[in-house]
Amino acid sequence: MSTTQLPEDFRCPISLEIMSDPVILSSGHTFDRASIQRWLDSGHRTCPITKLPLPDHPHLIPNHALRSLISNFALLPAPGGARPYPGLTPEPGALVAALTSRSSPLEARLEALTRLTKLSNRDPGFRRRLTESGTVSVVLGCVDSDNGLLRERALNLLLNLSLDDDNKVGLVAEGAISKMVGVLRADSANCRALAATIITSLAVVEVNKATIGEYPFAISALISLLRDGNGREKKEAATALFTICSFPENRKRAAANGSVPVLIRAADSGLERAVEVLAMLAKCREGREEMGRCDACVRVLVKVLMNGGCKGVQCALLTLYSLCCYSERICVEVRGQGVLEMCLRWVEGDNEKIRRNATSLAQLLQGDSNRSVR
């Protein structure tokens, strides 16, 4: 049976596509929810098939029986091979069963993870059904697998599930941070980069920032990845640090875990996100003190001013301003690097944020110069 031979009842009468969420209208006919909702939102109050009038606020009743039938077809092998029928969306439970069954071979578990990832990629409804079905604990269990490919595919699915704010706190409650830290400390480069990306996604929710920062080795593992990882790993680690350090207490933790010299080296190598993290850490006393101890700090920030992009320049100016407020010695060093002259040029520039930061730093440096003369 090919997709063109599938039962016609599987197809929405409006879109003629296979239904992913069939619902029954009061006329007794079934449609895909998205299609009939668009019809109703357009102001129609008649059944698309019978043309009979509908209530002002029509009820859409889920057709669970039909959805189950469609799901079962989705898991049947297509003729001549084991690939499922294209165009059919299985129920999460059916795929999760294939993932958790002890009798499932590795290939079947990999296929289940791949399909769950693809289905959840752009479908918030499917992600919601997936989390509601208790799948998170199963997928987190796969992260502990001895098979590297299974771990990587599980991480890809977890990243998709973390896209929705409603899932972020739940994932952390299920133990996702522990799993991600474990991956950061001992796994393949791809898995480590994925784990850092997942931490970034989870940290979008404010309460998770505190939880991640308090978790043992979470911040230190990200710093190690920034120090020792490849290009992608460094970028994802810096992004995760930037996100979690928007929570003030985490800035102190990052400074205490030796992040500053690692960030300065990363910034020196051209990683602009590292400069953004430095600007974040410069907001706390502990961060400024650590930067004051690094001989290369001012030199690297001035290098960013000369060669960096707009965001890098903006953050380098902000960091230098914080450091100059903190230390007169640094203020003298910054002036000696010609930063005041650069700032005076940017004051006349078009970029508002750079202009504002340059103005603040120029005023500070000019005031220091006047004090030195007197």
How far apart, in Å, are the Cα atoms of 32 and each of 14, 194, 323?
A: 8, 34, 60
Span 190-241, pLDDT tens digits: 999 999 999 999 999 999 999 999 999 999 999 999 999 999 999 999 999 9
**Main-chain phi, psi angles of 346, to 5 degrees:** -70, -25
pLDDT (0 to 100) of residue 16: 87
Give the SS3 label for residue 53: strand
194 Cα distance to chain centroid: 9
pLDDT (0 to 100) of residue 2: 43
How many other CB atoms are there within 10 angstroms of residue 121's CB atom? 14
- With a cut of 70, which residues of the chain have pLDDT below it? 1-6, 71-94, 368-374
**Main-chain phi, psi angles of 11, to 5 degrees:** -100, 140
Q: The pTM is what?
A: 0.76
Comparing CA positions, the residue from 251, 353, 338 lying closest to residue 298 is: 338
C-alpha to C-alpha distance for 197 and 214, rounded to whole angstroms: 18
How many other CB atoms are there within 10 angstroms of residue 248's CB atom? 13
pLDDT (0 to 100) of residue 81: 45
> Starting at the edge strand that comes first in sequence, how are the strands of the sheet with 30-32 ordered?
30-32, 22-24, 61-62
Structure tokens at 82: 């084991």
Span 327-372, pLDDT tens digits: 999 999 999 999 999 999 999 888 999 999 999 999 999 985 544 4
Helix (H) or strand (E) holding 32: strand 30-32
pLDDT (0 to 100) of residue 17: 83
C-alpha to C-alpha distance for 49 and 45, rounded to whole angstroms: 12
